């Protein structure tokens, strides 16, 4: 799939993209109590860019300049923007 084809809330998204930016981790309150670290990576392919939400251990898994592959990702609309997430039954890996 290409980033430009991602619209609305979808599941089963597979794509490869380059990490072009990444925010510092921030602490997020969980609905059920407790907190978790989260960060946002900006990823791009030849068709566009999208924000990828990273949770917990995923944050240190990728860096700016990495080419990554996502399998079984999903999107959610948050504050008027579509964000890509990596689900529980997913793959997020650096391919080079």
The superfamily CATH assigns to domain 3-94 is: Nucleic acid-binding proteins (2.40.50.140)
pLDDT of amino acid 17: 97
Domain ranges for the chain, please list them: 3-94
Looking at residue 90, what is its pLDDT? 83
d(CA 65, CA 7): 25
What pLDDT is stored for residue 44 in this prediction? 97
**Per-block mean pLDDT, blocks of 10 residues, the chain (96 long):** 90 95 96 94 96 93 96 88 85 89
Write down the pLDDT at residue 23.
97
Residue 77's contacts (CB-CB under 8 Å, 6 or more residues apart) are: 8, 9, 83
Looking at residue 77, its pLDDT comes to: 85
Looking at residue 32, its pLDDT comes to 92
């Amino acid at each position: 799939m290409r980033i430009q084809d991602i619209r609305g809330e979808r599941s089963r998204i597979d794509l490869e993209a380059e990490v072009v930016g990444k925010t510092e981790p921030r602490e997020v309150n969980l609905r059920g109590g407790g907190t978790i670290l989260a960060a946002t990576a900006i990823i791009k392919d030849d068709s566009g860019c999208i924000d990828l939400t990273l949770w917990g251990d995923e944050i240190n898994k990728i860096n700016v300049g990495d080419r990554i592959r996502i399998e079984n990702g999903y999107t959610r609309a948050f504050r008027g923007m579509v964000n890509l997430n990596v689900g529980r039954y997913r793959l997020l890996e650096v391919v080079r």
